[in-house]
Structure 1
Amino acid sequence: MAEDQKTYLLENWLNVDECNIIRIIFCFLWNFIKKQKIIRSVVRFFSLTFKGKKSLMKKNILKGAEPMKYKVIERDSFQVVGIKREFSLVNGENLVGIPKLWDEVNEDGTVDLLLKLNNGQIKGVLRVCVTNSGTQSKQVMDYWVATEYDGDTPDGLLKFEVPTSKWVVFEVHGPMPDAMQKAWNQIFSEWLPSSSYEHAGTPALEVYTDENPLSPDFYSEIWIPVK
C-alpha cells in the first residue's frame, strides 16, 4: 500500500473515531440532561404532593370544628395558694381520687375560702397539675385546688409558684365536666397540631368561676403554656 493511501486511511479512521466519540459524549450528555429533568419532575411532584397532603391534613383537622376562642398573653411568675394532694396515675387512681377531692373542697368550705382570698389577675378557683419530679416514679402527680393570691400564705394552705410563661388562654362555655373535657380534646387533637406553638412542658391551668358549674352558660378557661 502506498504511503499516501496509508495516510488517507489513518486520517479517515481518526476522523470517524472522533465523530463516534463526539456522538457518544453528546448522547451521554443528552441522556444525563433528560434524566435530570425527570428527577427534578419527580422531586417536584412528590414535593407538591407532600405539601398538598399537609395542607389537606390541616383542613381536615379544622373542618367541621367549632372555632376556639382564645388569646395569647405573657405573664411573669405568680403565686397561687391552696391545697395539694398527691395522686398516682397507675390504674386510673387519679380519675377516682380527683372527683372525690372536689366534693370534699366544695363541702368543707375550701372553695369559698379560696374565692375570698383571690386577689390576683386570674379570677376564680384554679386546678393545677404538677408532675412530681422529686419522686423516682413518673407515675405520680401533685394536684392543686388553688387561687391566685398576692400575700403571705394563709394558715392551713400551701403556696406554689407558677413559672413565667407565654400562655394561650382558651374560653370554655358549657356545663362541667363535659365542656372542659371537650375543650381539652379539641386543643390537643385540633388546635395544637395546626398551630405554630408547642406545649412548654410546665403546668397548665383550669380556671373555674363562682357561677353554677352545671349551667349551660357556665364560663371557665384553660391556660396552656406554650413556646
Structure 2
Amino acid sequence: MDYRIEKRETFKLLAKVAKFRNESISEDGNAGISDFWKKCGANGILDVLKQNTNKYDIYGPCAPISKESTHFEYGIGMEFNGDNIPDGYTVWEVKPTLWAVFKCIGDNGDCIGETWGKIFSEFLPSSEYCNKCLNN
C-alpha cells in the first residue's frame, strides 16, 4: 500500500461534506464514498474548490467516528486561502497532527473505494498509529 506519514501544521480546508453511516466503512461493496467523489466531479464541486485554492492537492478528510453517533462526516476538499465561503461548503480547520497520506490515482471514483478497502483491511489492522483506536 502506497502511503506516507507526515506531520502537518494548522491549515484550513474548504470542503464539500456529506454524512455516512458508521457501518459503511466496513461494509463489503459499499460505494457511498466513491459515489460521493463521482458526484462531486460531475457536479462542478471540484471546480469550485479549485477556484478557492492555490494548491491543487485534493483531500478526503474524515471526521472522527464516534460510538455515540450513528454517522460520520466525510469531505472532499482543498486547502482554503479565501475569505468568502461558497454556499454549501464548509471550512474545516485542521490542527497540527500526524497524517496518513494515501496515494490514489485514477480517472474515476473507483480508486477511492479500493483505497478505502485497503485502509481498513491492510493499514489500520497493522498500523502502530491506529491499533489503539480500533480496540476502543
Using the size of structure 2 for normalisation, the TM-score is: 0.64
Q: Distance in 2 between matches of 1:109 and 1:169?
A: 25
When structure 1 is superposed on structure 2, of 167-176 and 145-154 the one drifting more is: 167-176
Check conservation: 1:115, 1:124, Cα contact below 8 A: no
Q: Pick the aligned partner of 2:41 from 87, 94, 106.
A: 106
Structure 2 residue aligned with 1:70: 3
Unaligned runs of 5+ in 1: 1-67, 203-227
Fraction of identical pairs, as percent:
27
Higher RCO (CA-CA < 8 Å; seq separation 6+): 2
Check conservation: 2:37, 2:109, Cα contact below 8 A: no
Structure 2 residue aligned with 1:115: 50
- Pairwise CA distance, 1:72: 2.9
Q: Pick the aligned partner of 2:12 from 79, 87, 90.
A: 79
Q: Match for 2:47: what amino acid?
A: D
- Pairwise CA distance, 1:199: 2.3
Structure 1 residue aligned with 2:95: 163
The 1:186/1:102 distance shift into structure 2, 3 A limit, reads: closer
Structure 2 residue aligned with 1:199: 130
- Pairwise CA distance, 1:126: 2.4
- Pairwise CA distance, 1:80: 0.5
Secondary structure of the residue aligned to 2:85 is coil
Secondary structure of the residue aligned to 1:112 is helix
Check conservation: 1:114, 1:147, Cα contact below 8 A: yes
Larger proportion of helix: 1
The 1:69/1:129 distance shift into structure 2, 3 A limit, reads: closer
Structure 2 residue aligned with 1:27: none
How many residues are aligned here?
Answer: 128
Q: Match for 1:144: what amino acid?
A: G
* RMSD over aligned Cα atoms: 3.6
Unaligned runs of 5+ in 2: none
